A and B are shown apart, each in its own frame.
Chain A
Amino acid sequence: MNDKLLEIRNLKTSFRIRDDYYAAVDDVSLNVNKNEVLAIVGESGSGKSALAFSIMGLHNRAKMEGSINFKGTNLVGLAPGKINKIRGKEMSMIFQDPLTALNPLMTIEEQIGEVIYLHNKAISNRDKKAKVIELLDQVGIPHAKYVCDQYPHELSGGMRQRVIIAIAIANSPELLIADEPTTALDVTIQAQILDLIRDLKQKMDAGIILITHDLGVVAEMADRVAVMYAGEIVEIAEVNTLFEQPRHPYTRSLLNSVPNSDEKQDKLHVIQGIVPALQNLPREGCRFKTRIPWIAESTHEDHPELHEIAPNHFVRCSCYEHFYFPDETEVENSGLS
């Protein structure tokens, strides 16, 4: 099924730093279908949250170019009043930081109730309360009736995160953006929350963008995966393909740096260097080049593009054809090219 819900084309989101604009999201194009989880992975600073905020229309001062087509409406440049009507109802977001996302002065019932009321002003107080309790049950909060009257600081981190998820799914959104929804949580609670997101996808036919740096979570949840580096998508593929035949050097490096649960490795792979700050991002040539300096300069493209190397499998720059890890022999790989 190929039911397009979101279609992003050539999106560029730039922040002003001193007198210049710098793109944190640079020429990103992607689709999200109904009943699909698209995972976005990448190191800290690669632009994942900036992309999510762009879709949600939450950047106040950023410059946005390109288009974000959501169910036939281009969200780029849409009047704030119009985007407010969509946000929180047809699309919503679970934020990365659970502490700042809740109002410390409002009870849990008030916070969840507010979102329900905002998009359904006719609802009675009784129905609203029933809905709040139902949502709290749904996200696995025990003693929902009691929790209703509590304030955020009276809940543990895991409970707070579940309240945030309850708010995000209150109006059964068609598109849900979950930015690191389980990073702060224990594995057992994480498993519950992931089940919940999976349910939302299946029962409500929702499209989901799941931002995470946990590749295990990606493997369990995603239908497709986009890998971001320095504001660009460097690889995008179906989940099995991405784990079995990763092509871009960055994707391969990321996969190699997590402890593999099956074998006892002595050493994990380390990606040299760091993601440069926004003002220092290389804007020309292959942006990942500086982190794989042992790969010959000539293997990179001058203007790296996404190539469809197999159906639905896109890889940026030609360097992937010549990539090898420093501890592998070059000879082994040169046969590839």
Chain B
Amino acid sequence: MAFLEINDLHVHFPIKGGILNRTIDSVKAVNGVSFQVEQGKTYGLVGESGSGKTTTGRAIIGLNEITSGQVIFEGNDLAATENKKLDVKRDVQMIFQDPYSSLNPKKRVLDIVAEPLRNYEKLSRSQEVERVADLLEKVGLSPESIFKYPHEFSGGQRQRIGIARAIALKPKLIIADEPVSALDVSVQAQVLNFMREIQKELNLTYLFISHDLGIVKHMSDRIGIMYKGRFVEEGDTEDIFSNPQHIYTKRLVAAIPDINPKNRDAQKKFREEVQLEYQKDYGRYFDEKGLAFNLRNISQTHLAALPEIGVVE
């Protein structure tokens, strides 16, 4: 049994209209997604803007209503009605994209970090202060930070306050939605290092959402590539970057800027080739509605939504 197993997940948002304001159509933000995450590992979720990454993450943690499908966390289907009462909020936490707006500016760090503790544990005032100080120490902030306000911290420090809050209840799974996208490279490094450290220390599992492939590659053991609500490819990090199969993945990988200026021309040429292939073959790789096909195994660890015909095994 996998630690986290997503089976044929659908999240559709109704589009209302007409005089009666009835549902006339729906946005199929997540449209048949399945994947499994192992405990203690990092699963990277990549895809262009609007492909459904955040919606997938929010559905897992229960912030978006699931239209159909299963979210099986440690053996319990969180989507099933009889499990709606099941309290997994302790075990599953989310880190949000924007360290500037995700913390309440009017609250002190103590109140921000202690909030989940207050919901779940009855601690005395001094126990609470002690726990928060411990948590802050873990994320590398001094205990005096407790009485400060978010604006008194840098972006990286603020993101770490968000992480301190997320790990307060010792969760098992953290959904990190673009946790470093708003940060400077140097601060990014700090937060990414830190996330890996506490992962080891607490045996945390991450669902790591990002559109920065360099960072996803650095962080992830396994990666799923989303396009229009569906997976086009899934595999170990090595599979995706060394042997991309789907035309969309190839285009994505080709678009990553190369950090070596000497490769500039080669990279440009490669990108143009991939772009041509993409234009030529787009129709073959998607069905008549523009949706990706079902994933099929091309190796033990590697799956891709390839067209039926013309596949080299």
Contact = CB atoms under 8 A, between A and B. Distances in A.
Do A and B form a real pair? yes
Contact of A268 (B48, B192, B212, B262): B192
Given A258-B189, A261-B214, A270-B190, A219 B255 contact: no
Interface stretch (A27-35, A145-153, A187-195, A316-324): A187-195
Interface string B249-277: 00110111111111010010001000000
A213 B184 contact: yes
Contacts of A216: 214, 256-259
Given A191-B271, A253-B186, A268 B193 contact: yes
Nearest to A214: B257
A277 B254 CA distance: 38
B122 interface: no
B186 A257 contact: yes
Contacts of A213: 184-185
Nearest to B257: A216
Interface centre among B155, B190, B258, B259, by most A CB within 10 Å? B259
Contact of A270 (B189, B264, B267, B271): B189
Contacts of B184: 43-44, 213
Interface residues of A, number: 40
B90 interface: no
B260 A243 contact: yes
- Interface range for B: 35 or more
A219 B186 contact: no
A239 B261 CA distance: 7
Nearest to B254: A191
A261 B258 contact: yes
Given A254-B186, A257-B188, A220 B214 contact: no
A214 to B, nearest CB: 7
B257 A217 contact: yes
Nearest to A185: B49
Contact of B256 (A44, A157, A187): A187
Interface string B284-308: 0000000000000000000000000
Contacts of A190: 255, 257
Interface of A: 43-44, 156-158, 185-191, 194, 213-217, 219-220, 222, 239-240, 243, 253-254, 257-261, 264-271, 274
Interface of B: 48-50, 154-156, 184-190, 192-193, 196, 211-215, 217-218, 251-252, 254-262, 264, 267, 271
Given A258-B214, A270-B193, 6 more contacts: A43-B187, A191-B257, A213-B185, A243-B261, A261-B214, A268-B193
